Structure 1
Amino acid sequence: MHRIFYVPRFRHGLFFVGLAGCLTAFYSNTISLEKAFLRINEEVMQHSRAYETLSNASQQVGHRLTGSPNGTRAETYAFDLLSSYGFKEIRYEPFEVEAWTRDTVTLSVVPDRSDNFREISVVSLAHSPVDAHVKGEIVDVGNGLEGDFAALKDKLKGKVALVNIGLAAPTKGARNLHRSEKTALAIQYGAIGVIMVNLVPGNVLLTGTASVTGKLIPIPSVCITHESGQALRAWMQEEASPLHALIDMSNTSRKIRARNVIATLKGSKYPDEKIIVGGHLDSWDLATGAIDNGIGSFAIMDIARTFKALKLKPKRTIEFVLFMGEEQGLLGSRAMVENLKKSGKLDNVRYMLNLDMTNDPTGLNAFGRSDMVAFLNSVGETIKRTEPAFANNMQNQAGLHSDHQPFMLEGVPVVGMNGHLAREVLDCYHANCDRMNLVNADQLKNTVRYSTMLLYALADADDIPTRRQNDTQTRDYLVAQGLRTPLQIANEWRWKE
């Protein structure tokens, strides 16, 4: 579930001088790191199996919806694949989830006091009610940002909100809200239903969760295509009477047990310190989820294969984690963080690297940790010396809505890879066109080799400049990163004013 944010480009020119000397400050042997990177590069370029295994799983497993038989098969597939790479220390980490599955849904639109009904193609957004039958006047809330809802606060109660999933004609600097946050605002202002408009042309229906908590929401939330949205808005302009929406839906929801899959590579010098590399294995059920997040999760398994193939033994322990339940509310990563907190081992996690729709990286993202910029830039320059095609475009901006979030909210340092996907690929996000034909084998291989190098650098460093923040530092960090408001909307802001 990759979330697209406005992320400013931020090149740290000060750190491009004397990079070799800077790197020496972090590593006792710069040459050995470069040698390791060369070995990694050669191994991945010649023997990567990420594309092959993702293609195989897409055929054998299909979609990987948490709580479904396919989801269980995906968990087993990942466990067996990691075992075949020589990992002995592999475990399932079970957790209980409220598994939501779509059933039927219809959307009809009719002018007030008329029988001129029009049926509109629609798909339910996850965690909508098990049973819902609502009728209400449609109120167009545009992009559905806080200001858009606030401007209509006296007109939404008892109505159905019409909202763009993305930003149509976005304002410079405006940060879009997640569909779950827009639904939360609609509920806050008294709406009885939400119609989300996908802005991707081509009659693409998009799914995903409309719940900020991963629990059932009290009102139905649905998605219609870009073309349907245009036609509906044109009708609203032409029609003298208000248009009413009739949403009828049924879904199923039940508690099930899902499983994260975790393979461990013990550290040689600091075995109690962990670097976690994770990505969600689960996907939505409209397609096979090859991009979201096949390219991330199968890259992680190939990174693990690379470490084993080269017999790499970094100083710190690495845990390769395939999360389930991400699409339904970051459930697997939340469960892992809670388990680490209960066991008193969260401080042992020195860094978290999350790969979610990460593709063909061109640089690293320090995620707002300024004390790590020099370190990461030095690692990036070493990658660039190994492979000049790697641009080492540094960023330093945090975001939300993927499996790094539960770690970040507990002060654990997070690092990201800055990648890119073609527009036609992004248009299939959470849609029925997210299939294997979208995956670029060479770009996937780039994800594996550059991420493996970064992971090795973090795990084998003599020292990592930053540590887990305390609660006050975490609050200040989130405020500085501009994440306070979206976290408040999601009811995840735990600090009192």
Structure 2
Amino acid sequence: MKKLLLLFCLFTTGAYAQSTDSVTIRKIYNEILTNSPSYEWLRQLTKQIGPRLSGSSGAQKAVDWSKQLMEKEGFDRVFLQEVMVPHWVRGAREVAYIQNGKQKITVPIAALGGSIATSPKGIEAPVIEVKNFQELRELGAEKVKGKIVFYNRPMDPTKLNTFEAYAGAVDQRGNGATEAAKLGAVGALVRSMTTAMDDNPHTGSMRYATGVPLIPMAAISTNGAELLSKSLKETPGLTFYFKQNCETLPDAKSYNVVGEIRGSEKPDEIIVVGGHLDSWDLAEGAHDDGSGCVQSIEVLRAFKALGIKPKRTIRAVMFMNEENGLRGGIGYADYAKKNNEKHLAAVESDNGGFTPRGFGIVGTPEQRANIMAWKPLLAPYGLHEIGAGSGGADIGPLAQQGVVLLGFKPDPQRYFDYHHTGIDRFETVNKRELELGAASMAALIYLLDKYGL
């Protein structure tokens, strides 16, 4: 009889807890969907400040703006954490064309972040098209030397998860210049990382290996890539010309911006929610990652508005330099380790401001199971995809300290239409989708704070 009574008490206690949690989560959604200023914050960040590449004046303005915003919202503590960041500048707009006999056909390109410039006169050379590094190596130095290597492997359109498709193609961008230079190439081009067919070149970060000659590299739009490939088949001996004026300046001082609500019972346990403040210089950075920044700040605002007093310290972090160095994420993890801070979990939004689908979890099987047990509370809000996955680049360095990482997962189908392009603008973000994302993150953090792991 006593065992039955104990089981009954446990069942009723669990049911009551789930009921109260359901009510609180509903209140969180109601507050954010009714009163959230996050869309206006995003408009300010994108329209009043605009591009925010690390080391730029725009990045510093974004630091000042987000610090002032969190102070205005009355968070318990707001501070700057200094980081030294790369300072790459694009310079004058790139010029490129296909020289097919006497015909000159202009195509859109964008220098890759970290690339060197061409000579002031630009580069004109024959083109070698390849799909992967193995194909390039099989050609050998004899066929590659003195030429421009054109990487034309598209993102796989059959992958339903476009981030998986991106991961399967982006090695061309990251290491393409080095692999081409090893065989004597004078320049490199890469097909833009998107399944969309358009004239918008997608920039992004690239890197050089030690001991290998440095050659300039640019992304060509998907329409441009198709045209170049077709032209090469019709006229194998054609040449390609491009000129870019980028340079890398000395590292610059910048900051992560941190705001927090102090925990009422376990203030020394920290839950992080964040996005990255920097964006590529071509874009307003609305989806990548202005959305993640304002959603993270909104989590704390909503808690304050509803009078939710978290047990643990909830910390919003605006990371600097995700795009071309990850200095902010590395610096924050170093800061946490140096100060012996105990982080329970970290949540990042860096996949765009689209309709919420769920969260990817990086942790032990037991930790994943604990979080997945909350599915019944989150599923009514469209959060069905909760399970093993990825966290986020900025919070990734915290994994070495045993922190559970959670990546916010919006619908992925449109993200790479805008990613790293000049069309990643405020107008492409839907207000309701943005707010639903913020509410989803706030609901998860409410549960993480209440129950821990």
Which bin holds the TM-score, normalised by the shorter protein?
0.7 to 0.9
- For the pair 1:353 / 2:367, whether they are aligned, the reply is no
How many Å separate the matches in 2 of 1:331 and 1:285? 18
Cα deviation per residue 1:305-346 (whole Å; 9 max; x = unaligned)?
11221232222212100112111222211221223334444x
Task: Report SS of the residue matched to 1:261.
Answer: strand
Paired amino acid for 1:252: E
Equivalent residue number for residue 383 of structure 1: 378
Structure 1 39/217 Cα, relative in aligned 2: closer, same or farther at 3 Å?
farther
Task: Report SS of the residue matched to 1:103.
Answer: coil
Equivalences for residues 66-465 of structure 1 within 5 A: 66-104=54-92, 105-110=94-99, 118-130=105-117, 132=119, 134-142=123-131, 144=132, 146-152=133-139, 154=141, 155-156=143-144, 158-164=146-152, 166-167=154-155, 175-178=167-170, 179-187=173-181, 191-198=185-192, 199=194, 200-211=196-207, 218-241=214-237, 243-254=238-249, 255-345=251-341, 348-358=342-352, 359-367=354-362, 369-384=364-379, 388-398=380-390, 402-408=393-399, 411-421=402-412, 423=414, 426-461=416-451, 463-464=452-453
Question: Where in structure 2 are there 5+ consecutive unaligned residues?
Answer: 1-9
CA RMSD, Structure 1 to Structure 2 (Å): 3.1
Question: Where in structure 1 are there 5+ consecutive unaligned residues?
Answer: 1-20, 465-497
Contact 1:136 1:245 survives alignment (8 Å): yes
How many Å separate the matches in 2 of 1:375 and 1:188? 49
Contact 2:391 2:406 survives alignment (8 Å): no
Contact 1:129 1:217 survives alignment (8 Å): no
Structure 1 96/239 Cα, relative in aligned 2: closer, same or farther at 3 Å?
same
Equivalent residue number for residue 55 of structure 1: 43
Cα deviation per residue 1:206-245 (whole Å; 9 max; x = unaligned)?
22222389xx99321111222221121112112243x444
Cα deviation per residue 1:352-410 (whole Å; 9 max; x = unaligned)?
111003432122222364222322222232123xxx2424223312377x323333466
Q: Which moved more, 1:80-89 or 1:60-69?
A: 60-69
**Bigger Rg over Cα:** 2
How many Å separate the matches in 1 of 2:55 and 2:404? 30
How many Å separate the matches in 2 of 1:302 and 1:84? 13
Structure 1 267/188 Cα, relative in aligned 2: closer, same or farther at 3 Å?
farther
Deviation for aligned residue 1:140: 1.2
Deviation for aligned residue 1:127: 0.8
Deviation for aligned residue 1:90: 0.3
Cα deviation per residue 1:241-265 (whole Å; 9 max; x = unaligned)?
3x44444322233221111110022
How many Å separate the matches in 2 of 1:240 and 1:364? 48
TM-score by length of 1: 0.77
Cα deviation per residue 1:32-52 (whole Å; 9 max; x = unaligned)?
433332321221122111112
Paired amino acid for 1:107: A
How many Å separate the matches in 1 of 2:327 and 2:66? 18
Identity %: 26
Cα deviation per residue 1:445-476 (whole Å; 9 max; x = unaligned)?
11011110101211222x41xxxxxxxxxxxx
How many Å separate the matches in 2 of 1:233 and 1:126? 24
Structure 1 187/414 Cα, relative in aligned 2: closer, same or farther at 3 Å?
farther
How many Å separate the matches in 2 of 1:204 and 1:221? 16
Structure 1 421/411 Cα, relative in aligned 2: closer, same or farther at 3 Å?
same
How many Å separate the matches in 2 of 1:356 and 1:59? 19
Contact 1:364 1:380 survives alignment (8 Å): no
How many Å separate the matches in 2 of 1:186 and 1:408? 34
Out of 48, 53, 57, which is 1:65 matched to?
53
Task: Report SS of the residue matched to 1:430.
Answer: coil
Equivalences for residues 17-28 of structure 1 within 5 A: none
How many Å separate the matches in 1 of 2:358 and 2:12? 17
How many Å separate the matches in 1 of 2:216 and 2:110? 11
Contact 1:220 1:247 survives alignment (8 Å): no
How many Å separate the matches in 2 of 1:398 and 1:301? 22
